[in-house]
Structure 1
Amino acid sequence: MGGQVGASAGSSSAAESKLRRYPPFVRFWLASTVSDFGTYITSVALSVLILVTMDGTALDQGLVNAARWAPYLLFGLVAGVWIDRLPRRTVLIGGDLGRGLILAGVALAAAAGLLSVPALIVLIFAFGVLALTSDAAYQSFLPQLVPRPLLTKANARLQQSDTVAQTTGGAVAGGLVALVTAPFALLLDAVSYFLSAAVLLTLERPSRAPVRSTQRLHRKVAEGLRWVYGHPYLTPLACSTHIWFIGSSILGTVLPAVVLNDLGLGAAGLGLIMGCAGIGAVIGTTVSTRAGHRLGTGKTMVMARIAQPMAIAVVALAPIVAGGTHSGESYGSPLQWTGDMWAAFALMGAGQLLFGGAMGVEGPLEMGFCQAVTPDSLLARMSATMRSVNRGMIVIGAPLGGLIATMAGAGTALWVSVAVLLLASLVLLGSRFRSARTEDQQLSDEEALTH
C-alpha cells in the first residue's frame, strides 16, 4: 500500500511538470482565468442589481437564475451534437464575444434606468444560450490540448484558478458595487469576456478535426444519453449530481436574499461571504488530486458530498443567530454591523468556507473521471447531456427556492437546501461509484480515438 501511495505521489509530481510543457493549455488556462474573475464579479453585482437597485424579491432572483440555465434544459442535448460538428475553438471565441456584448447591454440599460425584470430575464436567457455552447466546447476542447493521463491535473489547475477568481472576485465585487454601483461592476465582466476571446485567438487550431457523422440527430442524442445513463459509474454520479444541482440552486437563490435583505449585510458582506467559499475552494482543489490518488476518486467524492449539507446547515443557523432584527435595513459597511450581525457573518463565512472546500475537492475529480472514461467521439455529447440535465435542475430549484423563501421565509428555504444536498450525497454513497478510481477506468488516447 505504501508503495502505491509513493508511486501516486511521484506520478502526480511528474504530471505537474509535464503539464507546463503544453503552451496551448497554458494560454487556455489564462483565458479561462480572466473570464472566471469577471463571472464572480457578476454573481454579486447581478444579485445586488435585482434585490437592491431594482427592489426585486427572492422570487425575481430565482426567475433570473432560471432564465440563465433554461437553455441547457431546452437545447442542451442538441448543443452537444452541434459542437461535434464545429471547431471548438471557434465556438469558445464566439461565446466569449457574445456574452461580453450582452453584459455590456445589461449594464448600460441598468445605468440608464431602462432595465426591468422581464427584460433582464430575456437578456440573461440569451446569455445562457451562449454559455451553453461554450461550456460544451470547453469540456471537449481540453482533451485536445493535453493527453488523457493529465486531464485530472489539468482540470484541477483550471478549477484552482476559478476558485482564486471566486475568492478575489466576490470580495472585490462587494467593494465595487458599494462604491460605484452594480452596472459598472457588470461592465468589468463584459471586458473580461472580451479579453478571454483575445487570448483564445492566439491558440492554433487543434490538429484533431471536428467529429463528422451522417448519423441522424436523434440517434446521436440517444447515443449520448445511453453512454451517460448506461455506464456503471457515470449513471449514479449523474443522478447524484442532478439532485445536488437542485439543492445548490435553492441555496444560490436564497443566500443573496438572506445576506442583503434579512441580515442587511450589504454588497460588501455578500462579497466577503462568497469570498470565503472561494478560499475554501482554493484549499480543496489544492488537495483534490492527491486525495483522489490516495483514497480513490469515488471515496473522496462521497466524503466531499457528505460535507456539503453539513456546511450549509451552519449557514442556515445564521438568520437564527441574527434574530431577524435587521430585515429590510441595509448596512453598507462592516463598521456599522452589530454584534449579532458579526456572529451571523461568521457562521455564514465558516459554512461557505467548508462548502467551497468540499466542492473544490470533488470538482476536478468528477470532471477528470467523466473525461477519462469517455471516448473522444462522445465527449461533447457526454458533456452536453450532463450539463443540460444538471442546469435543467437549476430551472426547477432556483424558482422553487425563491417561492419557498417568499412563502415560508428564507431560513426555511436554506434548510430545504440542506435536505436536498444530503439526499444527493446518500445516492452517491449507496452506489458502486464509491469504489471508483479514475486510473483504473480511463481510456488511453488510442482507445479514445478508435472507439
Structure 2
Amino acid sequence: MVASARDAFRRLWAASAISSFGTALTAVALPVLVVQVLEASPVQVGIVAAAQFVPYAVLGLIAGVYVDRWRRKRVLVWASAGRAVALCLIPLLWIIDALDISVLVVLLLMFGSLQVFAFAASQSLLPRVVTRDRLLVANTRIDQTDAAAQTAGPALGGGLVGLLGAPLAILVDAVSYLVEAVLISTLRVDEPPPGERGRRNFVHEAREGLAWTCRHRTLAPLSVSTHVWFVANAAAFTVLALFALRELDVTPFVYGLLFAAAGIAMLAGASAAPWSGRLLGAGRTIIAARIAYPLAWAPVAVIAATGVGDSIAIVGLFVAMTLQGIVAGIENPHEMGYRQAVTPDGILGRVSATIRSANRSMAALGALLGGITVAAVGVAPAFVGVVVVFAIAALIAGFSPLRSANHDDSAEPSEGWNGT
C-alpha cells in the first residue's frame, strides 16, 4: 500500500513538474507576444492578463461542487488535454494571420476555464495520495520542482522566443500539458465512486464550501489577505511587463532571466520552508512572507520614479524578483499545506475552488488596474500602488489569529503515502 502510494505521488509530482516547466516558458513568451508581436496598448495588456483569471470568478464555485462530486483524477486528465488544445491554437492562428488581441483573449478564457477545474482537482487529489501529516513535505517537494522549472523555463523561453518567435515557443507549453494528461491517466489512487459522495442541492453544496472558508477562525483572514495579495501581485507583473519590455526595451532573453532569477530564489525558499515552519510555525511564516513583498517592490517604485539609468533599473528588477521568489518559495507550501490540513476531504474541492476563485478574480482586477494605472499616470505611480496593496495584505494577516496557526490543526486523518 505504501509503495503504491509512493509511486502515485511520484507520478503526480512528475506531472506537476513537467507542466510547471511549460508554464514558466509561457510566462516569458506570452508577454512578449502581447507587448511586442501584437503591439498591445497598456490597457490591452491588462485585459489579456485579466482574461486568464476571469473564469475563476464565473466558474470557481461551480468547479468546486463538481470536483467534489466527480473523480478528481479524471477531471485532471481532461483539463490538461483541453489546456493543451487551447495553447496549440495560439501559434496555429498566428501562422494563418488570424491571431489578434480579441482572439487571444477568447483562447485564454478557454484555457482559464479548464484551469479552474484542474486546480480544484489537483489540490483535492493530493490529500488522497499522501497522509495529512505529510502534506507540508509533499507541497514543499512540488514547489521545489516548480521553482526549478521556473529557473530553467524562463531562460529557455527567452532563448526560444528569440529563435522561433513568441507564438511558436508557446507550443512547448501545450506539449507539457499533453504529457501531464498521460501521466495523470496512469495514476493509481483510491477515490470514492461519485455515487458515494452523495448528491444534494447544488446551491447548498456551494454554500458549504463558502461557509467553511468564511467562518473558519484562521482560514478566513488568511483567505482575505491572499485575495488582496493577488490584486497587488497581478498589478505588479502587468506593470513589470510594460516597464521592462517597453520602457527599458529589454530583450526576451533578459526578460526570461528575470523570471529565472525568481525561480532560483523560489527553489531556495521552498527548500527552507520546513525549517521556517519548525522555527516560526505556519502562520507566522506566512505573515513574515507577506511583510517581505512590499519591501521587495518598494525599491522598484523608487527606481521607476527617479529615472536612473537602464542598467541600474534592470539590476533593481533582478533584486525584486529574487526577493519575491525567496518569500514565495517559503510561504506557498505552508499556505497550501495548512489549507489542506484543516479542511475535511469531503469539501476540500469546494473550499479550494472558492479560495482560488476569489484569488483569481482579484488577480483579474489587479491586472486591469495595473494596465489602466500605467495608461493614466505612468509606471512609477503604478508601482507605488503595488507596494501599498502588498502592505495592506500584510497588515490583514499580521493582525489576525493566523499568528497561532500551524499544520497540527488537522481536520481529520486521511489515507495515502505517509512519506516513509
TM-score by length of 2: 0.95
Give the match's secondary structure for 1:62. helix
**Residue 218 of structure 2 contacts residue 405 of structure 2 at CA under 8 Å; is this kept in 1?**
yes
Shift of 1:303: 0.7
**Aligned-partner Cα distance in 2 for 1:320–1:97:** 44
Q: Which amino acid aligns with 1:405?
A: V
Match of 1:374 among 343, 353, 356: 343
**Aligned-partner Cα distance in 1 for 2:360–2:191:** 31
Shift of 1:321: 5.9
4+ residue segments displaced more than 4 Å? 18-21, 320-323
Residues 98 and 231 (structure 1 numbering): CA distance in 2 closer, same or farther, change over 3 Å?
same
1:104-253 map, 5 Å: 104-210=88-194, 212-253=197-238
**Aligned-partner Cα distance in 2 for 1:98–1:352:** 31
**Aligned-partner Cα distance in 1 for 2:411–2:114:** 30
Higher RCO (CA-CA < 8 Å; seq separation 6+): 2
Q: Which amino acid aligns with 1:244?
A: W
**Aligned-partner Cα distance in 2 for 1:157–1:208:** 26
Match of 1:288 among 265, 270, 273: 273
Shift of 1:434: 1.2
1:277-426 map, 5 Å: 277-320=262-305, 322-323=307-308, 340-426=309-395
**Residue 95 of structure 1 contacts residue 130 of structure 1 at CA under 8 Å; is this kept in 2?**
yes
1:227-253 deviations in whole A, cap 9, x for unaligned?
001000101101100100100110121
**Residue 129 of structure 2 contacts residue 189 of structure 2 at CA under 8 Å; is this kept in 1?**
no
1:98 aligns with 2:82: yes
1:255 aligns with 2:240: yes
**Aligned-partner Cα distance in 1 for 2:146–2:414:** 31
Partner of 2:418: none
**Residue 288 of structure 1 contacts residue 364 of structure 1 at CA under 8 Å; is this kept in 2?**
yes
Shift of 1:313: 1.2
**Residue 128 of structure 2 contacts residue 189 of structure 2 at CA under 8 Å; is this kept in 1?**
no
Give the match's secondary structure for 2:73. helix
**Aligned-partner Cα distance in 2 for 1:66–1:29:** 28
Q: How many residues align?
A: 414
Residues 322 and 21 (structure 1 numbering): CA distance in 2 closer, same or farther, change over 3 Å?
farther
**Aligned-partner Cα distance in 2 for 1:207–1:102:** 29
Q: Which amino acid aligns with 2:15?
A: A
1:442 aligns with 2:410: yes
1:387-423 deviations in whole A, cap 9, x for unaligned?
0011110121111110001111122111111110010
**Residue 155 of structure 1 contacts residue 367 of structure 1 at CA under 8 Å; is this kept in 2?**
yes
Q: Which amino acid aligns with 1:43?
A: A
**Residue 87 of structure 2 contacts residue 171 of structure 2 at CA under 8 Å; is this kept in 1?**
yes
Q: Which amino acid aligns with 2:233?
A: S
Question: Structure 2: which 5+ residue stretches go unaligned?
Answer: 416-420
1:351-400 deviations in whole A, cap 9, x for unaligned?
11001111111100000000000111010011011000111101211111
Give the match's secondary structure for 2:188. coil
**Aligned-partner Cα distance in 2 for 1:199–1:321:** 50
Give the match's secondary structure for 2:243. helix
**Aligned-partner Cα distance in 2 for 1:296–1:415:** 31
**Residue 233 of structure 1 contacts residue 432 of structure 1 at CA under 8 Å; is this kept in 2?**
yes
Give the match's secondary structure for 2:170. helix
**Residue 224 of structure 1 contacts residue 385 of structure 1 at CA under 8 Å; is this kept in 2?**
yes
**Aligned-partner Cα distance in 2 for 1:234–1:383:** 11
Residues 446 and 402 (structure 1 numbering): CA distance in 2 closer, same or farther, change over 3 Å?
closer
Match of 1:264 among 249, 257, 267: 249
RMSD (Å) for aligned C-alpha atoms? 1.7
Residues 41 and 429 (structure 1 numbering): CA distance in 2 closer, same or farther, change over 3 Å?
same
Q: Which amino acid aligns with 1:222?
A: R
Match of 1:37 among 21, 26, 40: 21
